[in-house]
Amino acid sequence: MYEWYDYESYFDWIPTDFLYSSPDYDYVANYKVGRLPVSDAAQAAAVVAKIEQWHDGLSWDWFKRASVAGGRPFGTMWYYGELSSVDAINKDIFNGMELAKFYYTNETYDVNHVKPLLLSQDSGLFYHVDHGSGNVLWVGDGPISASDIMVPETTRLRIFNPEAPVVVSVSCINGAYDTDMTAFEDQPQFDAAPYPTSFGEATVLSGAGGIAYIGGSRLNYANFNMFYDEGRLLAHHYYMVQICNMVLESYHKGATRIGDMMYAALRRYAQDTVINYSSDRETLFGFVLLGDPVLSVPAQQPGLSCLKPHLAAVGPDGYLSEDIPVFRNLPSDKSRTIGVASNCDSPTLDVTSIYTWHDTVIKRDGLAGASVTYTFTPTDCGHHLVRAAAADGKEGWLYVNTQFVFVPTCDLLLMDADGGLDYERYYTAALGNLGRACDVWENGAREVISAETLAQFDIVIWFLPYSAPTEWEKNAFGAYLDNGGRLFITGQDIGSSLTGYGYEADSFYQNYLHAQWVDWAYTDTLRGQPRDPIGSGMTITIWGGDGAQNQYSTDEIEPILPAVPVFTYEPLCEAALRVDTGTYKLVYFAFGFEGIDSQASRDEVMRRVLYWLDQR
């Protein structure tokens, strides 16, 4: 299959074994096909010996041990790498198996915990939901590479782990089997292979690794729809996660050969999706089995099956538009507890509460009884996730939103719009070094700020690393400025986003920031405007050093009177401005202050900005 990628010709086409499975070209598999990725007789002998020893020692006693692993591959509050396997668990797919969860929120999703599953620990199934890069399986704190599982003691017929798992992974490119035609980033050269080896190939070729690898041979699509029922999370998965879950489900429904598991998943995927879409075709064609399709696996034995815990918030003040319960006007001393009622038939529940904005686990509790009320004390404004796990591993997920009473403590507000990425530390450090106290408003965690709240502050610093003001925010800040406010606003995407890359007029941008977007800037060096009270005599760099190193799309701007330039990108285009209308004062950086490359420079820039804003 051919599809053009302008940045990497290796992804222009997908090598596929699907047409061996479906020789009539109708997208419906007719045969059960797998591939043993060997390149010479010695490798073939080693793989056959591994398969024979695995088959001879096969037993439900050890195969019933299953592992799932995942975290936050897309950095969202839904913990997608965990949610994908939880949804499989909730369908009873792992029923009767001894299930181990290696999750980011359990603090076990790291190389030290996951790597042994592919080297020495006995396991029947290993399901991984996260990124891959061909010869690397990514986990929470770093990579597990093909070379990690192709260590010498696992090769040349020295079988290291005869009870290795069937590995199922959604990771990109790791199922590639045409690796002699490319070179991966770290280009591992192993004594067992004459060319760079994909992670899937290494899984099979290693004496450890796994007995088979099921996944994608190129870039994999992933998508999901999230819905809430009074805060209870409902999800639908697409593409690679969808078809991988189908493999596991086919085993649960009675498939007892690896090829049968793959065959059932391919047929169901063709039945349940719109194969005319290129993303579905790429998923189908790129989905591969590296391993022996005839190899038997033990039939799944039934075990304890509980209902998925049903969670409900106790006494919320209402619901957000997406149907998440909200608790408003909580006391600022954070003394209020939130109650969540759980109902299921499990003899025990393991309950975890998480503040999703900063990925903070608030507490974990093991509770006895099927129907219980769990309480936790929220740590800050924003979404909190409560997860209740039954004795068989099924989980109910409930999101609640908390809003604390905001009590100003000083005259300076830091408006944090980084989406929980912790860029505020660059601002609070500079302010602290200058002896300036600030209150912090976590934009996104709190509800939309009002003009009344802004009016309580003499100066507001508003940083937007990757976003632009919303209509509600523009209205609130417009009112704040109309009433004599003083604002320092900074961010690399403000102008391009508000003006549609110069094609749209934006009243707030033109009439309050007094700026016109010109183009993207293509330099990291800025020079201060001569005789300007903020920029004079300064040259700053917005990449490298101890800065945030996040300035990928800075804006070139043109001031609109009465605004005047403050910093200029070298050679000659404006990067920052200040404006004094007689009613309000404003400083606008068309780049992120957090990108400035040294603490000393950030301190000095902040000192000058505040000094100018402070002057009446």
Give me the CATH number covering residue 362: 2.60.40.1930
pLDDT given at position 188? 43
* 298 falls within a domain: no
* Of the residues 225, 256, 290, the one at which a domain ends: 290
Q: What is the structure's pLDDT at 183?
A: 54
State the Cα–Cα distance between residues 410 and 248, nearest whole angstrom: 56
Q: Are residues 437 and 367 in the same domain?
A: no
Specify if 299 maps to a domain: no
How confident is the model over 357-372, as pLDDT tens digits? Answer: 888 999 999 998 778 9
Are 506 and 473 contacting, i.e. CB atoms less than 8 angstroms apart?
Answer: no
Which CATH number is 47's domain given? Answer: 3.40.50.1460
pLDDT at residue number 159:
47
Residue 305: inside a domain: no
The CATH number of the domain holding residue 487 is 3.40.50.880
153 within 8 A of 207, measured Cβ to Cβ: yes
Q: Per-residue pLDDT averaged across 489-498, rounded?
A: 96
Both 393 and 444 in one domain: the answer is no
371 phi, psi to nearest 5 deg: -115, 110
Question: What's residue 13's pLDDT?
Answer: 75
Give the pLDDT confidence score for residue 156 in this predicted structure: 47
Residue 4 has pLDDT above 50, yes or no: no
Query: Mean of the per-residue pLDDT values for the chain?
Result: 91
Q: What is the pTM of this model?
A: 0.84
- Do 261 and 229 fall within a single domain? yes
Q: 212, 159, 164, 197: which is closest to 39 by C-alpha?
A: 197
| Residue range 328-352: mean pLDDT, rounded | 91
- Give the chain's domain count: 3
**170: Cβ contacts below 8 Å, ≥ 6 apart:** 84, 128, 129, 130, 215, 216, 220, 222, 240, 241, 244
Q: Write the burial class of residue 377 (CB in 10 Å: 0-12 exposed, 13-18 middle, 19+ buried).
A: middle
Confirm whether 385 is domain-assigned: yes
Averaged pLDDT, 393-401: 97
Q: What is the pLDDT of residue 207?
A: 85
* pLDDT given for residue 377 in this prediction: 94
CA dihedral sign of residues 165, 170, 173, 177? positive
Q: Are 336 and 441 in the same domain? A: no
Q: Is residue 295 part of a domain?
A: no
Q: How many helices (H) and strands (E) does the chain have?
A: 16, 30
Nearest to 211 by CA among 29, 21, 57: 57
Q: What is the pLDDT of residue 582?
A: 97
Asked, for residue 327, whether it belongs to a domain, the answer is yes
Please report which confidence band the pLDDT of residue 324 belongs to, taking 50, 70 and 90 as the band edges. Answer: very high
- Supply the DSSP symbol for 582: S
| Residue 190 reports pLDDT greater than 50 | no
User: Who contacts 161 (Cβ-Cβ below 8 Å, separation ≥6)?
Assistant: 119, 120, 121, 122, 154, 207, 208, 209
The string of pLDDT tens digits covering residues 46-75 is: 899 999 999 999 999 999 999 999 999 987
pLDDT at 389 over 70: yes
Single-letter amino acid, residue 421: L
The mean pLDDT of 549-570, rounded to a whole number, is: 96
Judgement on whether residues 170 and 261 belong to the same structural domain of the protein: yes
CA distance 549 to 542: 7
DSSP structure string for 168-229: EE--SSTT---GGG---TT----TT-SS---HHHHHHHSSSS-SEEEEESSPPPEEEEEEEE
**Same domain as 58, residue 34:** yes
Query: What is the pLDDT, as a whole number, of residue 539?
Result: 97
What's the confidence (pLDDT) of residue 587? 99
Question: Of 384, 404, 424, which one is at a domain's C-terminal end?
Answer: 404
Specify the DSSP class assigned to residue 554.
Answer: P
Q: Does 390 lie in the same domain as 367?
A: yes
Q: How confident is the model at residue 248 (pLDDT cuts 50, 70, 90)?
A: very high
Does residue 188 share a domain with residue 40? yes
Question: Quick one: average pLDDT of 21-44?
Answer: 91
Residues 265 and 340 reside in one and the same domain: no
In which domain, by residue range, is 505 found? 412-614
The answer to whether 180 and 140 have CB atoms below 8 angstroms apart is: no
Residue-level pLDDT at 152: 58
The pLDDT of residue 197 is above 90 = no
Is 3 part of any domain? no
Q: pLDDT tens digits, residue range 267-290?
A: 999 999 988 788 999 999 999 999
Q: What is the pLDDT of residue 193?
A: 40
Enumerate residues 6+ apart whose C-beta is below 8 A from 321.
Answer: none
Under the banding of pLDDT at 50, 70 and 90, the label for residue 25 is confident
Q: Say whether both 121 and 185 belong to one domain.
A: yes
Tell whether 500 and 430 lie within a shared domain: yes
Tell whether 304 is covered by a domain: no
Tell me: do 260 and 169 sit in the same domain. Answer: yes
Strands 371-376 and 338-343: antiparallel
Q: Is the pLDDT of residue 571 over 90?
A: no
Q: How far apart are CA 165 and CA 203, in angstroms?
A: 10
**pLDDT at residue 195 tops 50:** no
pLDDT, mean of residues 413-439: 95
Is 80 exceeded by the pLDDT of residue 611? yes
Q: At which of 351, 384, 404 does a domain end?
A: 404
